[in-house]
Copies of this chain bind each other. A is one copy, B any other.
Protein backbone atom coordinates (compact mmCIF):
# COMPACT_ATOMS: atom_id res chain seq x y z
CA UNK A 1 0.00 0.00 0.00
CA UNK A 2 0.93 3.60 -0.45
CA UNK A 3 2.46 5.83 2.14
CA UNK A 4 -0.14 8.22 3.48
CA UNK A 5 0.60 11.89 2.86
CA UNK A 6 1.40 13.93 5.93
CA UNK A 7 1.13 17.54 6.88
CA UNK A 8 4.43 19.25 7.44
CA UNK A 9 4.70 20.75 10.88
CA UNK A 10 2.05 18.41 12.26
CA UNK A 11 2.37 17.95 15.98
CA UNK A 12 1.13 14.55 17.11
CA UNK A 13 0.63 15.81 20.64
CA UNK A 14 -1.91 18.22 19.20
CA UNK A 15 -4.24 15.28 18.82
CA UNK A 16 -6.91 14.45 21.33
CA UNK A 17 -10.14 12.51 21.19
CA UNK A 18 -13.19 14.66 20.67
CA UNK A 19 -14.83 13.19 23.75
CA UNK A 20 -11.98 14.51 25.80
CA UNK A 21 -12.32 17.94 24.27
CA UNK A 22 -15.99 17.96 25.16
CA UNK A 23 -15.14 17.18 28.75
CA UNK A 24 -12.70 20.05 28.75
CA UNK A 25 -15.30 22.42 27.40
CA UNK A 26 -17.71 21.14 29.98
CA UNK A 27 -15.26 21.95 32.74
CA UNK A 28 -14.59 25.37 31.37
CA UNK A 29 -18.23 26.18 31.24
CA UNK A 30 -18.86 24.86 34.72
CA UNK A 31 -16.00 27.06 35.81
CA UNK A 32 -18.17 30.06 35.13
CA UNK A 33 -16.72 31.26 31.87
CA UNK A 34 -20.14 30.81 30.40
CA UNK A 35 -22.12 33.46 32.17
CA UNK A 36 -19.95 36.26 30.87
CA UNK A 37 -18.62 35.02 27.59
CA UNK A 38 -21.34 32.79 26.31
CA UNK A 39 -24.42 34.39 27.71
CA UNK A 40 -27.36 33.31 25.70
CA UNK A 41 -25.98 29.89 24.93
CA UNK A 42 -27.33 27.06 26.98
CA UNK A 43 -24.74 24.66 28.27
CA UNK A 44 -25.94 21.79 26.12
CA UNK A 45 -25.75 23.97 23.05
CA UNK A 46 -22.25 24.97 23.86
CA UNK A 47 -21.13 21.43 24.51
CA UNK A 48 -22.28 20.47 21.08
CA UNK A 49 -19.69 22.89 19.80
CA UNK A 50 -16.86 20.69 20.96
CA UNK A 51 -16.18 19.07 17.65
CA UNK A 52 -18.72 20.98 15.80
CA UNK A 53 -18.23 24.60 15.11
CA UNK A 54 -20.22 23.98 12.00
CA UNK A 55 -23.25 22.74 13.82
CA UNK A 56 -23.47 25.91 15.70
CA UNK A 57 -22.56 28.18 12.86
CA UNK A 58 -25.68 27.08 11.14
CA UNK A 59 -27.52 29.24 13.60
CA UNK A 60 -25.49 32.22 12.55
CA UNK A 61 -25.88 31.32 8.91
CA UNK A 62 -29.65 31.21 8.83
CA UNK A 63 -31.99 34.09 8.51
CA UNK A 64 -32.39 34.13 12.26
CA UNK A 65 -29.51 36.56 12.56
CA UNK A 66 -31.67 39.37 11.28
CA UNK A 67 -33.32 39.94 14.60
CA UNK A 68 -30.46 40.32 16.99
CA UNK A 69 -26.93 40.98 15.83
CA UNK A 70 -25.50 40.88 19.32
CA UNK A 71 -26.90 37.43 19.92
CA UNK A 72 -25.44 36.34 16.60
CA UNK A 73 -22.04 37.70 17.49
CA UNK A 74 -22.05 35.91 20.80
CA UNK A 75 -22.83 32.69 18.99
CA UNK A 76 -20.07 33.31 16.49
CA UNK A 77 -17.57 34.07 19.23
CA UNK A 78 -18.49 30.83 20.94
CA UNK A 79 -18.17 28.89 17.70
CA UNK A 80 -14.72 30.37 17.15
CA UNK A 81 -13.62 29.46 20.66
CA UNK A 82 -14.91 25.95 20.17
CA UNK A 83 -13.34 25.60 16.73
CA UNK A 84 -9.98 26.68 18.11
CA UNK A 85 -10.20 23.81 20.58
CA UNK A 86 -10.88 21.15 17.96
CA UNK A 87 -7.79 18.99 17.68
CA UNK A 88 -6.77 16.70 14.88
CA UNK A 89 -9.11 13.75 15.34
CA UNK A 90 -7.71 10.34 16.08
CA UNK A 91 -9.02 8.45 13.13
CA UNK A 92 -11.46 5.59 13.60
CA UNK A 93 -12.32 2.92 11.07
CA UNK A 94 -16.01 2.05 11.09
CA UNK A 95 -15.80 0.80 7.55
CA UNK A 96 -13.13 -1.07 5.57
CA UNK A 97 -12.81 2.02 3.38
CA UNK A 98 -11.62 4.00 6.37
CA UNK A 99 -8.45 1.89 6.37
CA UNK A 100 -7.62 2.28 2.67
CA UNK A 101 -4.54 4.09 1.50
CA UNK A 102 -4.28 5.78 -1.84
CA UNK A 103 -1.48 6.55 -4.27
CA UNK A 104 -0.84 10.19 -5.04
CA UNK A 105 -2.06 10.85 -8.59
CA UNK A 106 0.45 11.61 -11.31
CA UNK A 107 -0.17 13.57 -14.51
CA UNK A 108 -1.45 11.63 -17.51
CA UNK A 109 0.95 11.17 -20.45
CA UNK A 110 1.38 14.62 -21.94
CA UNK A 111 0.10 16.27 -18.81
CA UNK A 112 2.11 18.40 -16.44
CA UNK A 113 2.15 19.30 -12.77
CA UNK A 114 0.65 22.73 -12.06
CA UNK A 115 2.03 23.79 -8.73
CA UNK A 116 0.69 26.54 -6.47
CA UNK A 117 1.78 27.84 -3.09
CA UNK A 118 -1.15 29.29 -1.16
CA UNK A 119 -1.26 30.62 2.36
CA UNK A 120 -4.46 31.09 4.32
CA UNK A 121 -4.49 34.03 6.68
CA UNK A 122 -6.96 36.37 8.22
CA UNK A 123 -6.89 40.04 7.39
CA UNK A 124 -8.81 43.23 7.94
CA UNK A 125 -10.99 43.50 4.87
CA UNK A 126 -12.79 46.58 3.58
CA UNK A 127 -15.97 45.61 1.74
CA UNK A 128 -16.34 49.04 0.10
CA UNK A 129 -13.00 50.87 -0.17
CA UNK A 130 -14.41 53.86 -2.05
CA UNK A 131 -17.01 54.49 0.63
CA UNK A 132 -19.48 55.26 -2.13
CA UNK A 133 -22.12 53.58 -4.26
CA UNK A 134 -21.22 54.79 -7.74
CA UNK A 135 -24.54 53.63 -9.14
CA UNK A 136 -26.66 55.68 -6.77
CA UNK A 137 -23.98 58.36 -6.45
CA UNK A 138 -24.28 58.28 -2.71
CA UNK A 139 -22.06 57.67 0.27
CA UNK A 140 -22.43 54.25 1.82
CA UNK A 141 -23.81 55.05 5.23
CA UNK A 142 -21.04 53.40 7.17
CA UNK A 143 -17.89 54.76 8.70
CA UNK A 144 -14.68 53.32 7.35
CA UNK A 145 -14.04 51.58 10.65
CA UNK A 146 -17.31 49.74 10.15
CA UNK A 147 -16.40 48.76 6.65
CA UNK A 148 -13.51 46.68 7.91
CA UNK A 149 -13.95 43.32 9.49
CA UNK A 150 -11.76 40.32 10.22
CA UNK A 151 -11.90 38.33 6.99
CA UNK A 152 -10.05 35.22 5.92
CA UNK A 153 -8.25 34.82 2.59
CA UNK A 154 -6.16 32.47 0.50
CA UNK A 155 -3.05 34.27 -0.74
CA UNK A 156 -0.80 33.24 -3.64
CA UNK A 157 2.91 32.79 -3.04
CA UNK A 158 5.93 32.07 -5.21
CA UNK A 159 7.49 28.58 -5.11
CA UNK A 160 8.52 27.48 -1.66
CA UNK A 161 6.50 30.32 -0.11
CA UNK A 162 9.45 32.59 -0.94
CA UNK A 163 7.30 35.69 -1.29
CA UNK A 164 3.68 36.72 -1.71
CA UNK A 165 2.72 37.14 -5.36
CA UNK A 166 -0.51 38.97 -4.64
CA UNK A 167 -1.97 40.86 -1.75
CA UNK A 168 -4.21 38.71 0.37
CA UNK A 169 -7.67 39.34 -0.99
CA UNK A 170 -11.13 37.88 -1.35
CA UNK A 171 -11.65 35.70 -3.34
CA UNK A 172 -8.34 33.83 -3.42
CA UNK A 173 -6.20 33.12 -6.48
CA UNK A 174 -7.65 31.35 -9.51
CA UNK A 175 -6.00 27.99 -10.13
CA UNK A 176 -5.59 26.73 -13.69
CA UNK A 177 -4.97 23.32 -15.26
CA UNK A 178 -5.67 21.35 -18.40
CA UNK A 179 -7.05 17.85 -18.78
CA UNK A 180 -4.35 15.33 -17.96
CA UNK A 181 -2.51 17.67 -15.60
CA UNK A 182 -2.34 17.43 -11.86
CA UNK A 183 -2.95 20.48 -9.70
CA UNK A 184 -0.55 20.46 -6.79
CA UNK A 185 -1.45 23.00 -4.13
CA UNK A 186 0.80 23.59 -1.17
CA UNK A 187 -1.49 25.07 1.44
CA UNK A 188 -0.10 26.77 4.52
CA UNK A 189 -2.29 27.77 7.40
CA UNK A 190 -0.55 31.02 8.18
CA UNK A 191 -3.27 32.61 10.23
CA UNK A 192 -2.34 33.97 13.61
CA UNK A 193 -5.70 35.27 14.68
CA UNK A 194 -8.37 32.57 14.69
CA UNK A 195 -6.16 29.66 15.72
CA UNK A 196 -8.34 27.21 13.82
CA UNK A 197 -7.61 24.38 11.43
CA UNK A 198 -8.57 25.11 7.84
CA UNK A 199 -8.43 23.22 4.53
CA UNK A 200 -8.89 23.68 0.80
CA UNK A 201 -11.70 21.59 -0.67
CA UNK A 202 -11.90 21.68 -4.48
CA UNK A 203 -14.87 21.09 -6.77
CA UNK A 204 -14.63 19.64 -10.26
CA UNK A 205 -11.25 17.99 -10.07
CA UNK A 206 -10.75 14.35 -9.10
CA UNK A 207 -9.05 13.46 -5.84
CA UNK A 208 -8.60 10.60 -3.44
CA UNK A 209 -10.07 10.87 0.07
CA UNK A 210 -6.68 12.07 1.35
CA UNK A 211 -6.91 15.15 -0.85
CA UNK A 212 -10.64 15.85 -0.34
CA UNK A 213 -9.67 18.68 1.97
CA UNK A 214 -12.62 18.10 4.28
CA UNK A 215 -12.87 17.69 8.00
CA UNK A 216 -14.91 14.52 8.56
CA UNK A 217 -14.75 14.27 12.34
CA UNK A 218 -13.40 10.83 13.28
CA UNK A 219 -13.03 9.95 9.59
CA UNK A 220 -10.90 12.98 8.80
CA UNK A 221 -7.91 12.25 6.60
CA UNK A 222 -4.77 14.26 6.67
CA UNK A 223 -5.83 16.89 4.13
CA UNK A 224 -8.94 17.65 6.16
CA UNK A 225 -7.25 19.37 9.07
CA UNK A 226 -4.45 21.86 8.49
CA UNK A 227 -3.73 23.27 11.92
CA UNK A 228 -2.27 26.75 12.46
CA UNK A 229 1.34 26.75 11.33
CA UNK A 230 1.01 23.57 9.33
CA UNK A 231 1.48 23.05 5.62
CA UNK A 232 -0.07 20.37 3.43
CA UNK A 233 0.24 19.47 -0.24
CA UNK A 234 -2.92 18.56 -2.13
CA UNK A 235 -2.75 16.72 -5.45
CA UNK A 236 -5.81 16.82 -7.68
CA UNK A 237 -6.38 15.44 -11.18
CA UNK A 238 -7.86 17.37 -14.09
CA UNK A 239 -9.92 14.65 -15.80
CA UNK A 240 -12.00 15.08 -18.97
CA UNK A 241 -15.12 15.65 -16.89
CA UNK A 242 -13.28 18.30 -14.88
CA UNK A 243 -13.50 20.78 -17.74
CA UNK A 244 -15.25 23.84 -16.40
CA UNK A 245 -14.97 26.50 -13.73
CA UNK A 246 -15.37 25.42 -10.14
CA UNK A 247 -15.19 26.77 -6.61
CA UNK A 248 -12.74 25.78 -3.93
CA UNK A 249 -13.25 26.69 -0.30
CA UNK A 250 -12.49 25.87 3.30
CA UNK A 251 -14.04 22.63 4.56
CA UNK A 252 -12.33 22.47 7.94
CA UNK A 253 -14.03 22.17 11.33
CA UNK A 254 -15.39 25.73 11.13
CA UNK A 255 -16.01 25.71 7.39
CA UNK A 256 -19.20 27.73 7.28
CA UNK A 257 -17.90 30.75 9.17
CA UNK A 258 -14.48 30.66 7.56
CA UNK A 259 -15.84 30.26 4.05
CA UNK A 260 -18.23 33.14 4.73
CA UNK A 261 -15.23 35.17 5.89
CA UNK A 262 -13.54 34.79 2.53
CA UNK A 263 -11.82 31.41 2.26
CA UNK A 264 -12.93 30.69 -1.30
CA UNK A 265 -11.62 30.92 -4.84
CA UNK A 266 -11.95 29.34 -8.28
CA UNK A 267 -10.42 26.57 -10.37
CA UNK A 268 -10.44 26.74 -14.17
CA UNK A 269 -9.93 23.48 -16.07
CA UNK A 270 -9.65 23.50 -19.83
CA UNK A 271 -9.25 20.80 -22.44
CA UNK A 272 -5.64 20.12 -23.40
CA UNK A 273 -4.43 23.07 -25.44
CA UNK A 274 -7.81 24.80 -25.51
CA UNK A 275 -7.73 28.57 -25.82
CA UNK A 276 -9.02 30.73 -23.06
CA UNK A 277 -11.75 33.20 -23.96
CA UNK A 278 -10.34 36.66 -24.77
CA UNK A 279 -11.96 37.93 -21.59
CA UNK A 280 -12.69 35.53 -18.77
CA UNK A 281 -14.05 36.74 -15.45
CA UNK A 282 -14.86 34.91 -12.25
CA UNK A 283 -17.84 36.48 -10.54
CA UNK A 284 -18.50 35.35 -6.97
CA UNK A 285 -22.00 36.21 -5.80
CA UNK A 286 -21.67 35.92 -2.04
CA UNK A 287 -22.55 37.82 1.09
CA UNK A 288 -21.01 39.22 4.23
CA UNK A 289 -23.59 38.97 6.95
CA UNK A 290 -23.75 40.30 10.48
CA UNK A 291 -22.01 37.14 11.68
CA UNK A 292 -18.77 38.25 10.04
CA UNK A 293 -19.07 42.04 9.80
CA UNK A 294 -20.80 42.76 13.08
CA UNK A 295 -23.11 45.13 11.20
CA UNK A 296 -26.87 45.04 11.47
CA UNK A 297 -27.31 44.44 7.80
CA UNK A 298 -26.55 41.83 5.21
CA UNK A 299 -24.20 42.89 2.40
CA UNK A 300 -24.56 41.18 -0.96
CA UNK A 301 -21.12 41.20 -2.54
CA UNK A 302 -19.28 40.45 -5.73
CA UNK A 303 -15.72 39.22 -5.27
CA UNK A 304 -15.52 40.53 -1.73
CA UNK A 305 -16.92 43.99 -2.33
CA UNK A 306 -20.32 45.66 -2.27
CA UNK A 307 -21.77 48.46 -4.45
CA UNK A 308 -20.68 49.60 -7.91
CA UNK A 309 -17.29 51.22 -7.93
CA UNK A 310 -16.16 48.75 -5.26
CA UNK A 311 -17.30 45.58 -7.01
CA UNK A 312 -15.17 44.79 -10.07
CA UNK A 313 -15.55 46.97 -13.14
CA UNK A 314 -15.11 44.48 -15.97
CA UNK A 315 -13.95 45.50 -19.43
CA UNK A 316 -14.02 44.01 -22.93
CA UNK A 317 -13.91 45.05 -26.56
CA UNK A 318 -16.34 44.47 -29.40
CA UNK A 319 -15.51 41.25 -31.22
CA UNK A 320 -13.96 39.52 -28.23
CA UNK A 321 -14.97 36.11 -26.96
CA UNK A 322 -16.21 36.91 -23.44
CA UNK A 323 -17.00 34.52 -20.59
CA UNK A 324 -18.42 35.36 -17.17
CA UNK A 325 -18.32 32.43 -14.77
CA UNK A 326 -20.66 33.13 -11.90
CA UNK A 327 -20.32 31.12 -8.69
CA UNK A 328 -22.68 31.34 -5.74
CA UNK A 329 -21.47 31.46 -2.13
CA UNK A 330 -23.09 31.22 1.30
CA UNK A 331 -26.75 30.20 1.42
CA UNK A 332 -28.41 32.23 -1.31
CA UNK A 333 -29.71 31.70 -4.81
CA UNK A 334 -29.18 34.39 -7.43
CA UNK A 335 -29.98 35.31 -11.02
CA UNK A 336 -27.18 36.82 -13.09
CA UNK A 337 -28.08 39.65 -15.46
CA UNK A 338 -25.93 41.77 -17.79
CA UNK A 339 -27.56 44.76 -19.40
CA UNK A 340 -27.44 44.81 -23.19
CA UNK A 341 -26.39 41.18 -23.61
CA UNK A 342 -27.87 37.72 -24.18
CA UNK A 343 -26.35 34.27 -24.49
CA UNK A 344 -27.30 30.63 -24.98
CA UNK A 345 -28.00 28.12 -22.23
CA UNK A 346 -25.56 25.24 -21.84
CA UNK A 347 -27.43 23.13 -24.39
CA UNK A 348 -27.11 25.93 -26.93
CA UNK A 349 -30.89 26.06 -27.34
CA UNK A 350 -32.47 28.77 -25.23
CA UNK A 351 -31.51 32.45 -25.23
CA UNK A 352 -31.12 33.87 -21.75
CA UNK A 353 -29.90 36.91 -19.87
CA UNK A 354 -30.82 36.11 -16.24
CA UNK A 355 -30.06 32.47 -15.30
CA UNK A 356 -30.31 31.04 -11.79
CA UNK A 357 -27.17 30.12 -9.85
CA UNK A 358 -27.16 28.46 -6.45
CA UNK A 359 -24.61 28.15 -3.66
CA UNK A 360 -21.31 26.73 -4.98
CA UNK A 361 -22.82 26.11 -8.38
CA UNK A 362 -21.26 27.74 -11.45
CA UNK A 363 -23.08 29.15 -14.45
CA UNK A 364 -21.35 30.62 -17.48
CA UNK A 365 -22.46 33.49 -19.70
CA UNK A 366 -20.43 33.31 -22.90
CA UNK A 367 -20.92 35.44 -25.98
CA UNK A 368 -19.13 37.34 -28.70
CA UNK A 369 -19.11 40.95 -27.58
CA UNK A 370 -21.13 43.20 -29.92
CA UNK A 371 -22.42 46.08 -27.84
CA UNK A 372 -20.18 48.98 -26.76
CA UNK A 373 -20.95 51.21 -23.80
CA UNK A 374 -21.21 51.31 -20.03
CA UNK A 375 -23.38 48.47 -18.81
CA UNK A 376 -24.42 47.14 -15.48
CA UNK A 377 -24.19 43.53 -14.39
CA UNK A 378 -25.99 42.50 -11.24
CA UNK A 379 -27.91 39.91 -9.35
CA UNK A 380 -31.54 40.25 -10.35
CA UNK A 381 -32.82 39.31 -6.91
CA UNK A 382 -33.87 42.88 -6.21
CA UNK A 383 -32.92 42.84 -2.54
CA UNK A 384 -29.46 41.52 -3.41
CA UNK A 385 -28.92 44.10 -6.11
CA UNK A 386 -29.90 46.87 -3.74
CA UNK A 387 -27.65 45.52 -0.99
CA UNK A 388 -24.55 45.87 -3.15
CA UNK A 389 -24.58 43.07 -5.71
CA UNK A 390 -24.09 45.19 -8.83
CA UNK A 391 -21.17 46.50 -10.87
CA UNK A 392 -20.06 48.02 -14.16
CA UNK A 393 -19.13 46.26 -17.38
CA UNK A 394 -17.58 48.61 -19.92
CA UNK A 395 -17.30 47.62 -23.56
CA UNK A 396 -14.96 49.44 -25.94
CA UNK A 397 -15.48 49.58 -29.70
CA UNK A 398 -13.45 47.14 -31.78
Centre residue among A44, A47, A342, A375 by max chain B CB count within 10 A: A342
A188 at the interface (CB under 8 A from B): no
Q: Which among B44, B98, B218, B356 is the interface contact of A361 at CB below 8 angstroms?
A: B356
A172 at the interface (CB under 8 A from B): no
Residues on B with C-beta less than 8 A from A298 are: 62
Contact B61 A382 (CB under 8 A): yes
A276 at the interface (CB under 8 A from B): no
A262 at the interface (CB under 8 A from B): no
Interface residues of A in 270-313 (CB under 8 A from B): 297-298
CB distance from A292 to the nearest CB of B (A): 12
Knowing A331-B382, A346-B349, the reply to whether A358 touches B359 (Cβ < 8 A) is no
Q: Which of A112-120, A148-156, A200-208, A227-235 contacts its partner?
A: A200-208
Encode A373-398 as 1/0 by CB contact (under 8 A) with B. 11110001111111100000011110
Contact A386 B95 (CB under 8 A): no
Nearest-CB residue, chain B, relative to A342: B241
Residues on B with C-beta less than 8 A from A344 are: 241
A102 at the interface (CB under 8 A from B): yes
Q: Which of A7-15, A28-36, A191-199, A333-341 contacts its partner?
A: A333-341
| Cα-based distance from A243 to B47 in the complex (angstroms) | 48
Interface residues on A, range: 35 or more
| Cα-based distance from A219 to B370 in the complex (angstroms) | 21
A350 at the interface (CB under 8 A from B): yes
Contact A335 B347 (CB under 8 A): no
Knowing A358-B380, A361-B355, A381-B359, the reply to whether A97 touches B347 (Cβ < 8 A) is no
Knowing A241-B344, A386-B55, the reply to whether A374 touches B95 (Cβ < 8 A) is yes
Contact B383 A356 (CB under 8 A): no
Q: Which among B55, B136, B253, B340 is the interface contact of A54 at CB below 8 angstroms?
A: B136
| Number of identical protomers | 3
A217 at the interface (CB under 8 A from B): yes
Q: Which among B44, B209, B387 is the interface contact of A374 at CB below 8 angstroms?
A: B209
Residues on B with C-beta less than 8 A from A345 are: 346-347
| Cα-based distance from A360 to B384 in the complex (angstroms) | 13
Encode A318-343 as 1/0 by CB contact (under 8 A) with B. 00000000001011011101011011
Knowing A203-B353, A347-B346, the reply to whether A359 touches B380 (Cβ < 8 A) is yes
| Cα-based distance from A349 to B241 in the complex (angstroms) | 10
A106 at the interface (CB under 8 A from B): no
A51 at the interface (CB under 8 A from B): yes
20 CB contacts below 8 A, A to B, read A44-B141, A47-B141, A51-B136, A51-B138, A54-B136, A59-B297, A102-B373, A133-B217, A206-B340, A207-B340, A208-B373, A242-B342, A243-B351, A256-B382, A330-B382, A333-B356, A334-B358, A346-B349, A347-B347, A359-B381
Taking A204-B351, A358-B380 as given, write out 17 further A-B residue pairs in contact, using a Cβ cutoff of 8 Å, ordered by the A residue number: A47-B141, A55-B136, A57-B382, A59-B297, A62-B387, A134-B217, A135-B217, A212-B340, A239-B342, A242-B342, A331-B382, A333-B356, A347-B349, A348-B349, A352-B361, A359-B381, A359-B382
